[in-house]
Structure 1
Amino acid sequence: MSKNQSIHNTHTNTGFDIVIGNPPYSQVPKGIYPNKTFPYSEGKDKGKQNLYKVFVEHSYNLTSNKGIFCLITQSSIMCDLSASYTRELLLTKNSIRQIIEFPKKALTKEGQVFKSALQSTCILLCLKQKHKDYESLKLSINNDKTTIDKLIFESIKQSSIITLYPNRFEIPLIKKGEMKLIQKIKRDKILLGSLIERTLQGNINTIHLKRILSNSNTGFYIIKGENIHRYHLDNNFMNCKITEEAKSIIQRNLKGKYIIAIQGITGTADKNRIHCTLLESKNTKFVFLDSTKMLFLPNAKEAKYLVGLLNSKVLDWLFRKTSTNNNINIYELEDLPIPQITDSNQHLYNEIISLVNKILDSKAKDSSFDTRGLESKIDSLVYALYNLTDEEIAIIERK
């Protein structure tokens, strides 16, 4: 589109049979474009506006009924929170034919598709026609130049995506054979968020660190995300000034008896995405920075059960399917599926808690103590809790 053309007047009488584009990736203020013309990307999507989303909806507007639009766009269109309602438009008003995803960096220099790309990208192909229940979109991920002529697709029903991810309409980053496993893991479960009293993204923004930082040991400590590890905290705390603000924060933390502390930023290619441990609030004089995530629970057993699940291979694998950046967001954690405890699986629940106790105790005495054997036992119990077969376990462990 040239500068002299208006993006506002997007509806023609009939539209184009084919629309092809490579939208710009640029953040702009909300409100530049009219909600009436862009009810999804401008009207409903939250957060900062990115032009690629506007162009996705613009392409939809320009395309005739039963026409095709095909775009090279950021792969954040698949899972990112800020594109939730643009995805709703794609999933509920169109038949998505194919999505071909390319990571930011290929495994080899020769395999790099878009040399100037600063983020992962995807090719999105849509038919402007409401999907039929029996229709499936074809998804292929982790591609580069070497795979273009031998793409491996997983088929996903659009209706299944809407059912599995009703809040943000995420299109999961899955390989062939993985969709049925996701459906099984999520089936007949309760959401983690329903078990939590409250959540916090830390107690204080990192920009205010100087205000509370002390040069001497006061007995009050500042916890940042990198202090949090699987089943323990390290001892590299910063000292906190004893101020009314710090005392008030610590007092508020006491209202939740048990705190699951989670590292707030981890690399998408890291061995583990979720790193969490358990703290009893009465034994802590900690102020948490916003690079941490905090889940408050009233019950020790339930808290330990959840720590075991959050650190397990099952939930780590599932979390990665819709997490496309380094942030561990609370809303992502709250949507994780947790098995309800019944007479038939009570023994698994008890065994997980027992092993978590052993790991926490061992790490409290010596944070370098090797607990991999105990963690492996927890993984086996969690596999049984989700009733996974050997073939399904192999899919998770091939990560």
Structure 2
Amino acid sequence: YRNAVKTYRNAENKEQKREMKKLIADIKGNFKTTLGLSDVNKTKLRRLEGEVENLQGQIFLIPETKAERTKREKKIAKLNNEIDKLKVEIEDIENGRMYENALEWRFEFPEVLNNDGVFIGFDVVMGNPPYIRQEEIKELKPLLQTNFITYSGTADLYVFFAERGFKILKTQGQFCYIMPNKWMQAGYGKALRTYILENQLQEIIDFGDIQIFEEATTYPCILNASKQQQNTNFVSATVKTLNYINEFAVYIKSISNQIKVETLNDEIWVISSDSDQKLLSRIKSNCVSLAEYIDNKSFRGILTGLTEAFLIDNNKMIELINQNSKNKKVIKPILQGRNIEKYLTPNIEKHILFIPWHFPLEINSNIKGASIEAESVFQKDYPAIYNHLLGYKEKLERRNSVETGIRYEWYAMQRWASDYYEEFEKPKIMYQIFQTKPCFIYDEQGLYCNNSMWIISKADKVLLAILNSKMGWWLISKYCTAIQNGFQLIWKYFGQIPIPKANPKQGEVITSLVDQILTAKKSDSKADTTTLETEIDQLVYQLYELTPEEIQIIEG
């Protein structure tokens, strides 16, 4: 094969090249593998055959019972079945059948080898790697962890295709993928970000939430890079439309920005214009992260595992309380993340049956796992609620099979915020995870929420104003993952937006304006508070100490 490759690479004419290509194809077709005795499959085969031999040759001082003989024969049959399958697998490997439908690039592209048959790499690697989520590749994870430095347990499959693409490049070779843009912000993309910075980042074209594949909802970007020393700058472009007048390349050139590579590290990549980058850098130096500002007290809503069982309307709430006033203890007002408008607390139409693990003995730390005692007390003390949930028992038991009835009782919520449920009772900020416009509300009613919403456990109306302002939305657009027409406020990223600390006088003025908006919205949900919100926008700009030019950047 090496001789054929050498002749192919140095062929004097097309005929000689064709002959060598045919020879290489013949070699590929006849490729065989010889597995040594230490091979893992051969070792396993010997072990299984040994087990069968021992079971078949057993000598019994006391004759085995019929049941024992049946059990031994079943085990022998099972081992023989494994042996037959393993022999077929070994034969397939040794006969080269595993290569029949494989694309082995050293056979297909002899140009990537030097005259000695040593791999030197491709000039160009370009492609569209599979968009397969990490949940679908669980069985591959041990293999991926062993073979890829970009491995993360939550990384989607395209991450590993990106690393492999760079690995099969020759020095100074060109890399170009269209792939999901999540690696720039996701925690699982940290190792990939580091890996790319070890090469030459040339261009990132981000399509944001624009859908370019008809058959799937994706958030793609085009990554151009090279396997060589890093540049000082790279080109960034954020595509706003697919209805451009000229060719795509001309359109990209018209919206491109030069960004300094030194502004990037393994943390979240905020890919914006140079002016945006400078503004963000200055703001960050004068602020703290949202996570630090609120002492990291942001929490996910309740996850019941079966909404229809735990969610009740006002009529059902009244019915249960009339049957026993004690039931009021476990009935909580809840927001479902629907029809939420900023500053407006909607009318409460639904309540949740708040049933912790081991209820009503949830404070008993000695209970480990599903408790028969807890269920007995629940049935006795809260018969109406117990009977209501009993109607859903079959569905409730089909929830997470490794937990329901094992870690907690069939009637309990799946995730009941055991470490922070008290925070729902306090004044707080609540927000939707998926937002197409600023949507933060202030709650003083002790509202709970489902897992489509989160809470910020801080009674801070200045923070509410910042998050609902134009400035807040601009920061969200820089730090959070794009979705169609909006952003996904994953706490890991949302918690990094910079927040300024208002002095007492600033805080007093902004709080007064927020109170006016809240009062107006409470009296009339459709009240026009545009003037008050505009005043807040200007005061928030002052908090961030923005210049008129910087305000223009925020307002586009």
State the Cα deviation string for residues 36-64 of structure 1 (Å, max 9, x = none): 32121xx23x42x4332211111111123
1:287 pairs with one of 448, 473, 479: 448
Q: Secondary structure at the match of 2:338?
A: helix
Once the two structures are TM-superposed, the CA of residue 16 in structure 1 deviates from its matched residue by 2.7
Once the two structures are TM-superposed, the CA of residue 213 in structure 1 deviates from its matched residue by 1.7
In structure 2, the residue matched to 1:79 is 185
1:62 pairs with one of 144, 147, 168: 168
Question: In structure 1, what residue type is equivalent to 2:146?
Answer: K
Alpha-carbon distance in structure 2 between the residues aligned to 1:156 and 1:3: 44
Aligned pairs (5 A) from 1:142-161: 142=239, 144=242, 146=244, 147-150=248-251, 151=253, 152-161=255-264
In structure 1, the residue matched to 2:202 is 97
In structure 2, the residue matched to 1:203 is 302
In structure 2, the residue matched to 1:191 is 289
Relative to the length of structure 1, the TM-score reads 0.80
Aligned pairs (5 A) from 1:102-141: 102-103=207-208, 105=210, 118-131=217-230, 135-141=232-238
Q: Secondary structure at the match of 1:214?
A: strand
Higher strand share: 1
Question: In structure 1, what residue type is equivalent to 2:468?
Answer: N
Alpha-carbon distance in structure 2 between the residues aligned to 1:315 and 1:71: 32
Question: In structure 1, what residue type is equivalent to 2:496?
Answer: D
1:238 pairs with one of 350, 373, 378: 350
Q: Where does the alignment leave 5 or more consecutive residues of structure 2 unmatched?
A: 1-98, 106-112, 319-330, 363-415
Alpha-carbon distance in structure 2 between the residues aligned to 1:358 and 1:6: 69
2:137 pairs with one of 5, 26, 29: 29
- Matched positions, count: 362
Alpha-carbon distance in structure 2 between the residues aligned to 1:250 and 1:81: 23
State the Cα deviation string for residues 241-300 of structure 1 (Å, max 9, x = none): 47567998699543474321111222xxx3x1x3111223xx42x331001111112xx4
Q: Secondary structure at the match of 2:146?
A: coil
State the Cα deviation string for residues 301-342 of structure 1 (Å, max 9, x = none): xx111111111111211211232235321222211101134x
Does the CA contact (< 8 Å) of 2:258 and 2:273 recur in 1?
Answer: no
Does the CA contact (< 8 Å) of 1:84 and 1:170 recur in 2?
Answer: no
Q: Percent identity?
A: 27
Change (3 A) 1:144 1:2: farther
Change (3 A) 1:51 1:121: same
State the Cα deviation string for residues 195-244 of structure 1 (Å, max 9, x = none): 32422110224x32123222424473221112532112211531334756
Q: Cα RMSD between the aligned structures? A: 3.2
In structure 2, the residue matched to 1:332 is 493
Change (3 A) 1:31 1:346: farther
Question: In structure 2, what residue type is equivalent to 1:357?
Answer: D
Q: Secondary structure at the match of 1:351?
A: helix
Change (3 A) 1:244 1:22: closer
Considering only CA atoms, is the larger Rg found in Structure 1 or Structure 2? 2
1:275 pairs with one of 431, 439, 445: 439
Question: In structure 1, what residue type is equivalent to 2:144?
Answer: P
Relative to the length of structure 2, the TM-score reads 0.59
In structure 2, the residue matched to 1:52 is 158
Does the CA contact (< 8 Å) of 1:154 and 1:177 recur in 2?
Answer: no
Does the CA contact (< 8 Å) of 1:102 and 1:144 recur in 2?
Answer: no
In structure 1, the residue matched to 2:536 is 378
